[in-house]
Amino acid sequence: MNVVSPELLAQFDVPGPRYTSYPTADRFVEAFTVDDYELALKQRRNGGAAMALPLSIYVHIPFCESLCYYCACNKIITKHHERSAPYLRYLSREIDLHTAQLGGGQVVSQLHLGGGTPTFLNDAELRELMVMLRRSFSLAPGGEYSIEIDPRTVNASRLATLAELGFNRLSFGVQDFDPAVQKAVHRVQPAEQVFALVEAARQQGFESVNVDLIYGLPQQTPESFDRTLAQVVELRPDRIALYAYAHLPERFKPQRRIVTADLPAGAAKVEMLSRSISAFLDAGYVYVGMDHFALPNDALAVAKRQGRLHRNFQGYSTQPDCDLIALGVSAIGRIGATYSQNAKTLNEYYDHLDQGRLPIVRGLALNRDDLVRRAVIMALMCQGELQFEPIELAFLLDFRRYFAAELEALRALEEQGLVVFGDAGLQVTARGWFFVRAVAMVFDRYLQADRNRARYSRII
């Protein structure tokens, strides 16, 4: 593959947002309170057209039996499975507080269980959770209902239960098949186990199986990762998410257990990414965007071809842009022109609900400029194309005047063959699609203002 050179990958190996939202979550403020969130819920209920749009729901299950040293997620390490029962009771309270504001029976077209480890819950508890959700919401036929899987916590029987409960998409956390790497990050799971589970998932009729990979982990080399790539190609999941490991031990305590000297150098990481892109494209995968690949007949690849790709806090989606109800500790949601986040610790989360209040602790009400730039950035991230006129008509502005500085800054990317300008807009090229975050960053007013990018993962 020669569309992307290692030199170009190295040039754009810089920190930057993933743009699951704009503005990004690090811009949330505590001045946004539960009262603001409830007002947004009320406006949705009284909003007529907004009420007709289906909801998306994210449920965060924070518990994990074992600590993975690379992890930067909000999680609670425990082998005490009895802790999940009270957590479910509090989730039920949070759901009831939402239906009190929105009314029951709201249509849901997308549900995602993340963590932590959602399969920390036993079968009875997963069943209880789905009963709670179905009691308050109406899960639409044909929706996307997905759950993150730690292969060490499930077997074929558990996958059958998930299918029975209505889940139609699975995401397996693999990261790397190499035993030395697995040992270095404290996540040992034999490849044979993953292969058997993926085969069982296919037999159960799951519509899509995703595999998560991470490059840049300790003990990895381009050659060792080549072996993992070959195994993944043989496994042939419907989707692949390929993430760069961001080593930020000052922010994420578990990462302090990783020996910095064992991490691959920057050049080796770039080589791993370059070889990964080649391996997946050669195997027939479609590059959906950023760090996602999909088989040509997968719904995500089809949505990209048809210009129906969307993006939310869970990443790329085929579901239309919609409000997102976030349930559980630290979960992030979106209602109308607002973003919100729940309390990040279990005690604080429980305390809010004990007081009969939704556990919102921070968020953001978007202003007009935020909305304009969100529309621009999401068009770039999802369609790889930006037409000026729709933005001008939606927001009553002169695009070329409003974004004069940004358009001038894009000329440097044009010279590198990442974007092309036309009379009516601009297009991200096939080469530029691999660096779409860098294109979107040009329009990020907050990022351009403070230049403090160290808080973000690297865009390559």
Instruction: State which residues form the domain around 274.
Output: 6-325
Annotated binding site for S-adenosyl-L-methionine: 58, 70-72, 115-117, 148, 175, 187, 212, 246, 332
Strand-pairing partners, residue 242, are 213
- Residue 47: pLDDT above 90? no
What is the structure's pLDDT at 372?
A: 97
Give dist(CA 177, CA 275) in Å, integer: 16
Asked whether residue 298 falls in the same domain as residue 403, the answer is no
pLDDT > 90: what percent of the chain? 74
Q: Is the Cβ–Cβ distance between 264 and 220 less than 8 Å? A: yes
Q: What number is the average pLDDT over the span 170-194?
A: 96
State the pLDDT at residue 2: 47
Domain boundary among 293, 325, 357: 325
In this predicted structure, what is the pLDDT of residue 1? 41
| Total count of domains within the chain | 2
User: Model's pTM, two decimal places?
Assistant: 0.91
Report the binding-site residues. Answer: 58, 64, 68, 70-72, 115-117, 148, 175, 187, 212, 246, 332
Distance CA 32, CA 363 (A): 5
pLDDT tens-place string over residues 19-44: 888 999 999 999 999 999 999 999 99
- Torsion on CA atoms 179, 180, 181, 182, rounded to nearest 10: 50
Determine the Cα–Cα distance for residues 148 and 185; give it in Å rounded to an integer. Answer: 19
Q: Are 304 and 394 part of one and the same domain?
A: no
Please tell me whether residues 251 and 115 are part of one structural domain: yes
Q: Are residues 311 and 454 in the same domain?
A: no
Q: Return the minimum-mean-pLDDT range out of 124-128, 168-172, 448-452, 454-458.
A: 454-458
Q: How many residues does the chain have?
A: 460
Q: Is residue 330 part of a domain?
A: no
CATH of the domain at 425: 1.10.10.920
pLDDT at residue 50 tops 80: no
pLDDT digits 0-9 by tens, 308-328: 888 877 778 887 778 999 999
Q: Residues 317, 373: one domain?
A: no
Q: pLDDT digit string (tens) for 349-390?
A: 999 999 999 999 999 999 999 999 999 998 998 888 899 999
Task: Give the residue ranges of DSSP H helices in 34-141.
Answer: 34-45, 49-52, 84-102, 123-136
Q: Give dist(CA 74, CA 102) in Å, integer.
A: 28
The CATH number of the domain holding residue 21 is: 3.80.30.20
Q: Which of 325, 345, 360 is the last residue before a domain boundary? A: 325
Q: Which of 292, 325, 358 is the last residue before a domain boundary?
A: 325
Distance between CA 239 and CA 288 in Å, rounded?
10
Annotated binding site for [4Fe-4S] cluster: 64, 68, 71
Give mean pLDDT, residues 432-439. Answer: 86
Residue matched to tokens 């956390």 = 173
Q: Is residue 359 part of a domain?
A: no
The C-alpha atoms of residue 95 and residue 456 are separated, in whole angstroms, by 32
- Claim to verify: residue 387 and residue 262 sit in the same structural domain: no
- Given this model, what pLDDT does residue 302 score? 93
- Chain-wide mean pLDDT for the chain? 91
pLDDT tier for residue 242 given thresholds of 50, 70 and 90: very high
Asked whether the beta carbons of 213 and 184 are under 8 A apart, the reply is no
CA-closest candidate to residue 158, choices 130, 125, 123, 134: 123
